[in-house]
Amino acid sequence: MSFVETYATDDAVALAARIRAKEVSPREAVAAAFAAIDRVDPALNAVIMRMEAQAEEQLAALDRLDPAATPLYGVPVLLKDDCQSYAGVPSANASRLAAGFTRDYDTEIMARYRKAGVIVVGKTNLPEYGSNATTEPVANGPTHNPWKHGFSVGGSSGGSSAAVAAGMVPIAYANDGAGSIRCPASSTGTFGLKPSRARTPAGPVSWDLWGGLVSEHVVTRSVRDSALMLDLTDGPDVGAPYFAPPKTRPWFEEVAAAPGRLKIALSLTPPVPVEVTEDVRAATLRMAKLLEEMGHEVVEAVPVYDGEAVAEALKLMVCAYDAAQVDDLSKIMGRPVDRSTVEGGILAAAERGRATPAPALLDARGRMGAEARRFCRFFGDYDLLMTPTLPQAPMAHGYLDSDGLDLDVYLARVLGHLGFTHIANVTGQPAMSVPGGFSDGGLPVGVQFIARPGDEATLFRLAARIEEAAPWAQHLPPVHASRG
């Protein structure tokens, strides 16, 4: 077995241990990452930019870091091509309007990546402006699911999740405004945790992106990688508008801690009009049975709140933010906002956003806040809420076509496909998608867990025990870098 095959199945913690033991150098790890991308990305289209020159710069900068004090020293990662910027590298957000847009500074997450010693080797695909639950942008073309060609990897962090699932890197940056970490993780059989609101920094680019709905983190191969990366990136940045309760100890230590006996609510009832397919229902019930066998109490219970009101308010806000974003980019780039530069769905959303009066937006935020409080009261009786991550398995490309569908049909399909995820963005609670098996068609299915505000610790503890009892890392998709 060549090192590329070993590299493609190691998680980041294991790879970093090899580097510290001098079994392999950071340069060899980076070379393996590029070799893995070469092997599988032509079939997937997950990586839209290779960053060889920047990788060389980062490798040279490793000399200033202490390997013993840098847990992920020399580990290759990928960066989703949206909110987080590497100085001097274009950030187009999968948009023809923003092609060539470049910042001359690192965003705070990227600065923390440098301090962590990870090596960014490229950028990953996403839907235009991250506003879809699939990754099929006109600007870059679709990303294919490594489990089945022609099927969605979810969105918006679809390129990142596909790259991790296919063994290109063990960790890829992702963010989540309505399910954009958890949806792709569910769709590709990877682990995805959305941290609490303000747990990780969004600046200096964003102050209040999507009204505080967006959280920054990663998609990973293992639970411990996610926990360690959160340790390396959490904490507020200057001017952060929100505050997350501080951790009591490193997240990485929570992975080894026992969760205790948890009272877990199980809901198979989506908050929006959509059907949960039988194979997804069965996978979720199998997970519930596993949890009971582990000693937890699982109780069927449905949170009481107006999910449709939340969805309608969310649509209104997203349209307004789309309008603000494209209009701002139009001024910066000197390009028109029309079908030559923007997909039809974003164009229609922006038009609706411009036509929405400010009082209506404030009312939408108020309605979301009121329902968020109702939802959070549910956690006075339960430690966790367990649901399917998505109501159905990954769909064939085209179902969530943001360029060709009527806006209302498009928005209804997106929020219907996300189903259970977006409420945790509204409330700011931490939530995760854990691999839960496969659909009847052989595609991955995830199970979601939502914790009390600020309680990532319980999620990491439980996820690690699930990973031990029902390991997922040995399930490799047909398109995987270890296959040679």
The DSSP 8-state label assigned to residue 67 in this structure reads G
- Residues in the chain, pLDDT under 50: none
Distance CA(337)–CA(329), nearest Å, equals 9
DSSP tally for the chain: helices H, then strands E: 16, 11
Strands 431-438 and 191-194 turn out to be antiparallel
8 Cβ contact partners less than 8 Å away, ≥ 6 residues apart = 32, 36, 167, 168, 480, 481, 482
| Sign of the dihedral through C-alpha 30, 33, 35, 37 | negative
The secondary structure element, H or E, covering residue 431 is strand 431-438
What pLDDT sits at residue 347? 98
Domain count, the chain: 1
The first and second tokens of residue 349, run together, are 């959303």
Strands 431-438 and 444-451 turn out to be antiparallel
Task: Reduce the DSSP state of residue 209 to 3 states and report it.
Answer: helix
> What is the model's pTM?
0.98
Beta-strand (E) ranges in 338-430?
384-388
Residue 291, phi-psi category: left (phi > 0), alpha (psi -120 to 50), beta (remainder): alpha
CA-based angle 188:189:192, to the nearest 5? 90
Specify the length of the chain in residues.
Answer: 484
Distance CA(435)–CA(479), nearest Å, equals 18
What pLDDT sits at residue 205? 84
Catalytic one of 95, 152, 156, 222 = 156
Catalytic one of 91, 160, 161, 180 = 180
What pLDDT sits at residue 407? 96
Distance CA(308)–CA(373), nearest Å, equals 15
What pLDDT sits at residue 83? 87
The DSSP 8-state label assigned to residue 200 in this structure reads S
What pLDDT sits at residue 79? 99
CATH classification of the domain holding 104: 3.90.1300.10
Can 80 be counted among the known catalytic residues? yes
Can 331 be counted among the known catalytic residues? no
- The boundaries of the domain holding residue 188 are 3-483
358 Cβ contact partners less than 8 Å away, ≥ 6 residues apart = none
Distance CA(78)–CA(80), nearest Å, equals 7
Q: Nearest-CA neighbor of 449 among 437, 463, 467, 438?
A: 463
Catalytic one of 80, 123, 148, 315 = 80
Q: 293 burial class (0-12, 13-18, 19+ CB within 10 angstroms)? A: exposed
